[in-house]
Amino acid sequence: MDLEKLLTDRLAPAFAKVADEPADPVVRRSQRADFQSDAALALARRLGRSPRAIAAEVLRHAELADLCSVVEVSGPGFLNLTVADEALAGLVSALATSPRLGVPVAASPETVVIDYSAPNVAKEMHVGHLRSTVIGDAAARLLEWLGHRVLRANHLGDWGTPFGMLIEHLVDLGEVEAAQGLSMGDLDSFYKAARAKFDAVEAFRERSRRRVVALQRGDEATLRLWRLLVQQSARHFLTVYDLLDVTLTERDFHGESSYNDVLGPVVEDLDRLGLLRESEGAACVFPPGFVGRDGAPLPLIVRKSDGGYGYPATDLAAIRHRTGTLGATRLLYMVGLPQRQHFEMVYAAAAQAGWLAPPARAEHVGFGSILGSDGRMLRSRAGESVKLVGLLEEAIARATALARERNPELDEAEAIEVGREVGIGAVKYADLSSDRHRDYVLDWERMLSLDGNTAPYLQYAYSRIRSIFRRAGVAAQPEAEILLVEPAERALAFELIGFGGVVGEVAVNLEFHHLAGYLYRLAAAFSAFYERCPVLRADPAVRESRLVLCDLTARVLRQGLYLLGIRTPERM
């Protein structure tokens, strides 16, 4: 149980009594005591009384005897709360014997659709898709662990006008030849060659245009070639997911093309609802509240002037399907911040159409870019966008070299395994530990370092605890009595019981850097504890208690890292 919440629940009735109306006690961790409540200061003006007098009266009404050893009014009117050792020990014990580490399953489980990864067919996955994939996968793991029904949706870009030129290029190359090139994962050169021809050769452009028409008409021969492109790309994406160790599978692939058959009906529905207006030959929805720089209402184009449907229509169809057919109430879209407006408009239009009505809601879980060491968008030396596979392979190679160097006792197979888990972990953690709303700089030295807020640091903390047990040949007894005497032990205990609170908060705001920051603080608190408090050499009762603290720390680190999609090697 989260102590902040426990104390808040005890203080709230007392504040309500004194203030004559509900008042948030504003409890937070403090340097002076364990916790502090500042609410009396905020109430003073309104009640026309001194904050110290208010705080003192609150203390008289609050039931805190079983939780706190010291409660006092300090400074201008703060409430300082020191948690009783036995109360803290009781909370740690409850955690130690809880298979879910004190984290309850959701009281009302929901069906959640997580739209993530979503690379485009016949294009290499690049670092831009990395963030979506890593954040989306963490969300899927977290919400699933909390008991929600999670539906992963990989909204692949597998339809649209570029397929005209891509198919014609495939024809030019010869199917076998092309399939071979594509299966090597060389999607980018294929796309670029097609593009170059399209830009330079009028006859090719003409063929491409005719091909798009054939594709949209459902011409079987054309569809077969299109499927070939989709399959080769899908195979490539699956290798990346495997390398990246994410939970997405082929069953989660729901490309844009899967909505083709319902785009017509969706637009008809919008028309029937009176939501369509024609603008420059295109059928548009004008969701309220969106205006351009010139103050004119912004259109969401659902049918282009050439009769084709585009990205917005597909997203509207997807919402209708997700809420209507799949019964989802929470729709999450892990997509870069530049698409913010697109999603806001799509959600607004879907709400107008009645496809997104409470309790169902949609959230754009946006994120910034990955930058190179020069502070600009990450690019390869040739100035192109960096391929994801290359980046992941580099991470693994670097981490494997470091694993060999750091621990010569690892045999070759272990070094390779550790290198993979640490390398991939480092890439994911660098992403998840930074505030997703911001850009971040990809810095190999930093992300692979054993010091600081990094995956290797946390993985190492975990493996170090496991080695304590392994070397001594002992196990922790979760039922053992917990004795908290040293300040470093208390500090560790406070971190441990904070897990549930952080998990609950991140399930709402999907800001995984809070979970990462928590795990980092936990590992640091463990390290301070382990430096100051002997474990195996302590007296039997203390030793048993400390073994539980060690084991609990390892379990929380492991579960927390699992939720971030990061493995925890037993040895490294």
Interacting residues with ligand ARG (CB under 6 A): 115, 118, 120, 155, 157, 315, 318, 333, 335
Closer residue to ligand ARG, CB minimum distance, 143 or 523: 143
Closer residue to ligand ARG, CB minimum distance, 91 or 121: 121
Output the six-digit token pair for 519.
């795990």
Closer residue to ligand ARG, CB minimum distance, 155 or 169: 155
Smallest distance from the beta carbon of 333 to ligand ARG, in angstroms?
6
Determine the Cα–Cα distance for residues 570 and 572; give it in Å rounded to an integer. 7
Closer residue to ligand ARG, CB minimum distance, 120 or 463: 120
Smallest distance from the beta carbon of 6 to ligand ARG, in angstroms?
40
The answer to whether the beta carbons of residues 185 and 239 sit under 8 Å apart is yes
Closer residue to ligand ARG, CB minimum distance, 157 or 423: 157
Smallest distance from the beta carbon of 318 to ligand ARG, in angstroms?
6
The answer to whether the beta carbons of residues 133 and 152 sit under 8 Å apart is no
Selection from 448, 476, 452 nearest residue 545 by Cα: 476
Smallest distance from the beta carbon of 115 to ligand ARG, in angstroms?
5
Closer residue to ligand ARG, CB minimum distance, 157 or 287: 157
Smallest distance from the beta carbon of 118 to ligand ARG, in angstroms?
4
Q: How many CB atoms lie within 10 A of CB 389?
A: 17
Closer residue to ligand ARG, CB minimum distance, 131 or 207: 131
Selection from 466, 463, 459, 492 nearest residue 564 by Cα: 459
Smallest distance from the beta carbon of 360 to ligand ARG, in angstroms?
16
Selection from 282, 187, 270 nearest residue 228 by Cα: 187
Selection from 322, 287, 321, 320 nearest residue 301 by Cα: 287
Closer residue to ligand ARG, CB minimum distance, 310 or 425: 310
Determine the Cα–Cα distance for residues 427 and 216; give it in Å rounded to an integer. 40
Closer residue to ligand ARG, CB minimum distance, 204 or 333: 333
Question: How far from chain centre, in Å, is Cα 504?
Answer: 13
Closer residue to ligand ARG, CB minimum distance, 130 or 566: 130
Determine the Cα–Cα distance for residues 329 and 362; give it in Å rounded to an integer. 8
Determine the Cα–Cα distance for residues 181 and 304; give it in Å rounded to an integer. 34
Smallest distance from the beta carbon of 127 to ligand ARG, in angstroms?
12
Q: Is the dihedral of CA 28, 33, 38, 40 positive or negative?
A: positive
Smallest distance from the beta carbon of 284 to ligand ARG, in angstroms?
18
Smallest distance from the beta carbon of 155 to ligand ARG, in angstroms?
4
Q: Helix, strand or coil for residue 396? A: helix
Smallest distance from the beta carbon of 166 to ligand ARG, in angstroms?
15
Phi, psi of 424, rounded to the nearest 5 degrees: -70, -40
Q: Helix, strand or coil for residue 523? A: helix
The answer to whether the beta carbons of residues 554 and 101 sit under 8 Å apart is no
Smallest distance from the beta carbon of 233 to ligand ARG, in angstroms?
12
The answer to whether the beta carbons of residues 345 and 300 sit under 8 Å apart is yes
Smallest distance from the beta carbon of 85 to ligand ARG, in angstroms?
51
Determine the Cα–Cα distance for residues 480 and 407; give it in Å rounded to an integer. 34
Closer residue to ligand ARG, CB minimum distance, 368 or 517: 368
Closer residue to ligand ARG, CB minimum distance, 92 or 263: 263
Q: Is 311 exposed, middle or buried (0-12, 13-18, 19+ CB in 10 A)?
A: middle
Side-chain half-sphere exposure of 478, counting CA atoms within 13 A:
12
Rg (CA), the chain: 28
Which ranges constitute the DSSP H helices of 159-255?
162-173, 175-183, 187-200, 202-217, 220-244
Smallest distance from the beta carbon of 123 to ligand ARG, in angstroms?
8
Closer residue to ligand ARG, CB minimum distance, 156 or 552: 156
CA 429 vs CA 5, 207, 256, 446: distances in Å: 28, 46, 30, 11
Phi, psi of 255, rounded to the nearest 5 degrees: -70, 170
Q: In the β-sheet with 282-285, what is the strand arrangement from edge to edge?
A: 276-279, 282-285, 300-303
Determine the Cα–Cα distance for residues 50 and 33; give it in Å rounded to an integer. 22
